[in-house]
Amino acid sequence: MTDRVVLLSIPGLRSADLAAMPTLRRLAGEGDVVSLVPSFPAVTCPVQANLTTGKLPSEHGVVANGFYWRDKHEVEMWTAWNDAIGQPQIWDLLHEHDRALTSAVWFPMLSKGAGANYICTPAPIHNPDGTETLWCYTKPTELYGTLRDALGHFPLQHFWGPLSNIKSTGWICDSAVWAAREFAPRFTYAYLPHLDYAAQKFGPDSERAVAALGELDEAIGRLVSGAAEAFGGEEPLWLVASEYVITPVDHVTYPNRVLREAGLLAIDDTPEGEQLDFAGSRAWALVDHQFSHVFVADQADVARVVDLFRGREGIEEVLVGEEKARHGLMHERSGEVLLVSSPQSWQAYYWWLSDDRAPAYARTVDIHRKPGYDPVEMHLDMATKTTPLDASLVRGSHGAPPRDESQRGILLASQKGTLVGSAMADTDVCELVLRQFGL
């Protein structure tokens, strides 16, 4: 057993990347490294739920980065609270065992309202005039004001969008050190997103992606040394988990355009462009990186939807019915049909057939109104200062099931004997953490 555990959740981290990351390389040299297999879908919210519950989406219900609430015909992207996760998480199980096993949850998605003792996650205030006020949801509530006074505002503009850079992850690391010093939690779970940006924007092997490795390692170095000091010179057990691996892409598919051309997708033509009509559509796709949930209103249309996509370039698998159970996605929140991209392709949410009819928010960084994930938001059209409508700009993606070793990440432990075997699944990490505390 160990006194403290820190779990770092890092998207895009590969085994070969350690060569450019001296801090992580040192931790690996002192401990163990095994291959980590992400469950499908290999995207942020489901993987973080897998890591912290030890369950698959079929049990915890996080089937994508967004949710389609069928009863309201509404899509919710990135704003759901912790009660969307239908299983207890590490901090809940620790508290159940011993209330003295305190936890800090630092920046993972779906953490608002979680049962951890200390929480910090972005929650900008949307003002009536359309502007935003920088803010974070924290537990206790007054914590963000204290962090802001000590470190400045969390730099939300560097967390996502064309200005994404190391400043956001640096703030996460520095504030986690502050929390370690102030609260000395027994367990800390921190999300460090920095490797996500350049790898998707320019490709996982691009010069910018390689540079990001050193930037992240430097921030982790501050976190490691700061935590050791905060804990009185005692090193916690460091666990570093790759959420997924980003693969190069050179092709994109547009499921909603395919459904529209087949007469299955309904559109509302408004002064602000064409809007997707969820209630009126016979079928539409919630698109998320390399997969999508196709929601089909009438079971009689399912076979037609399947036929539209089977054998289509860029689509490797079309899953329906019990086929979804193979990937742990048999849940009422899943679409009737699942589309899985081939490794070199990804899926864009676009439904308009002419760019002049695109909804106004398509040209902005608007992660909440877009009914699907849009990595093109990391690019900027310098002439118009808007988000381009060119999905071919994206050079890296993830989400599809790993096909070979190159699409597996790593799990690193800083103490030898912590990890057993040569490979683990993301759903194994929860039990691994609990075991360190005698559960």
Residues 94, 224 within the same domain = yes
pLDDT of res. 155: 96
Asked whether the predicted pLDDT for residue 317 surpasses 80, the reply is yes
**In angstroms, rounded to a whole number, what is the distance separating the alpha carbons of residues 435 and 439?**
5
**In angstroms, rounded to a whole number, what is the distance separating the alpha carbons of residues 247 and 203?**
8
Give 132 or 175, the one with higher predicted confidence. Answer: 175
Question: For 178, which DSSP code?
Answer: H
Structural domain span for residue 215: 5-248+402-436
Residue whose entry in the numeric block shows the structure tokens 């470190």: 151
Tens digit of each residue's pLDDT (9 = 90 or more) over 182-239: 999 999 999 999 999 999 999 999 999 999 999 999 999 999 999 999 999 899 999 9
- H or E element at residue 291: strand 291-296
Q: Provide the CATH number for the domain around residue 224.
A: 3.40.720.10
Residues 205, 271 within the same domain = no
- Residues ≥6 apart with Cβ < 8 Å to 124: 132, 133, 134, 135, 156
Residues 279, 195 within the same domain = no
- Count: domains in the chain: 2
Long-range contacts of 265-268 (CB under 8 A, 24+ apart): 265/351, 267/351
Phi, psi dihedrals of residue 338, rounded to the nearest 5°: -115, 130
Residues 156, 36 within the same domain = yes
pLDDT averaged over every residue in the chain: 96
Residues 388, 406 within the same domain = no
**In angstroms, rounded to a whole number, what is the distance separating the alpha carbons of residues 78 and 373?**
10
pLDDT of res. 125: 83
Crossing angle (nearest 10°) for helices 207-230 and 22-30: 60
- H or E element at residue 34: strand 32-37
Residues 213, 268 within the same domain = no
Residues 260, 215 within the same domain = no
Tens digit of each residue's pLDDT (9 = 90 or more) over 121-150: 999 887 777 677 889 999 999 999 999 999
**In angstroms, rounded to a whole number, what is the distance separating the alpha carbons of residues 25 and 88?**
32
**In angstroms, rounded to a whole number, what is the distance separating the alpha carbons of residues 286 and 316?**
17
Asked whether the predicted pLDDT for residue 1 surpasses 70, the reply is no
- On whether the CB atoms of residues 254 and 341 are closer than 8 A, the answer is no
Residues 271, 183 within the same domain = no
pTM: 0.97
Q: List C-alpha distances in Å: 3 to 95, 102, 220, 232.
A: 15, 11, 20, 12
Residues 261, 241 within the same domain = no
- On whether the CB atoms of residues 54 and 432 are closer than 8 A, the answer is no
Q: Provide the CATH number for the domain around residue 365.
A: 3.30.1360.110
Q: Assign 227 to helix, strand or coil.
A: helix
Residues 237, 386 within the same domain = no
pLDDT of res. 406: 83
What six digits make up the tokens of 350? 């676009």
Residues in the chain: 439
What six digits make up the tokens of 27? 């931790």
Tens digit of each residue's pLDDT (9 = 90 or more) over 255-308: 999 999 999 999 999 999 999 999 999 999 999 999 999 999 999 999 999 999
pLDDT of res. 130: 66
Tens digit of each residue's pLDDT (9 = 90 or more) over 337-377: 999 999 999 999 999 999 999 999 999 999 989 999 999 99
Tens digit of each residue's pLDDT (9 = 90 or more) over 60-79: 999 999 999 999 999 999 99
Q: List C-alpha distances in Å: 290 to 18, 109, 329.
A: 26, 19, 15
Tens digit of each residue's pLDDT (9 = 90 or more) over 30-44: 999 999 999 999 999
Question: For 430, which DSSP code?
Answer: H
Residue 380: Cβ-neighbour burial (10 angstroms; 0-12, 13-18, 19+) = middle
Residues 328, 244 within the same domain = no
**In angstroms, rounded to a whole number, what is the distance separating the alpha carbons of residues 7 and 413?**
9
Residues 55, 202 within the same domain = yes
